[in-house]
Amino acid sequence: MFETIYAQLLLAVAILVITFAFVKGDEPERLAAAAYTMCTLATVMLGDGSSPSVPRWGFMGIEIVLLVVFVGIAWKSQRNWLIWAAAAQVLTVTSHVLIVANLRPPRDAVAAVINMSSYGVLIAMAIGTFWAWQERRAAGLK
Q: 77 in the Ramachandran plot: left (φ > 0), alpha (ψ -120 to 50) or beta? A: beta
Q: Count the neighbouring beta carbons within 10 Å of the beta carbon of residue 106.
A: 10
Residue 52 has what pLDDT? 63
- What is the model's pTM? 0.91
For range 68-79, the mean pLDDT: 95
Does 142 score more than 70 pLDDT? no
pLDDT digits (tens, 9 = 90+) for 113-125: 998 999 999 999 9
Query: 49: pLDDT confidence band, cut at 50, 70 and 90?
Result: low
Residue 88 has what pLDDT? 97
Residue 5 has what pLDDT? 87
DSSP assignment letter at 12: H
How distant, in Å, are the alpha carbons of 64, 78, 87, 91 from that of 96? 10, 29, 15, 9
Task: Give backbone dihedrals phi and psi of 93, rounded to 5 degrees, phi first.
Answer: -65, -40
Counting beta carbons within 10 angstroms of the beta carbon of residue 118, is it exposed (0 to 12), middle (13 to 18) or buried (19 or more)?
Answer: buried
Pair 81, 61: CB distance under 8 Å: no
- CA-based angle 137:141:142, to the nearest 5? 65
**Gyration radius of the chain's alpha carbons:** 16
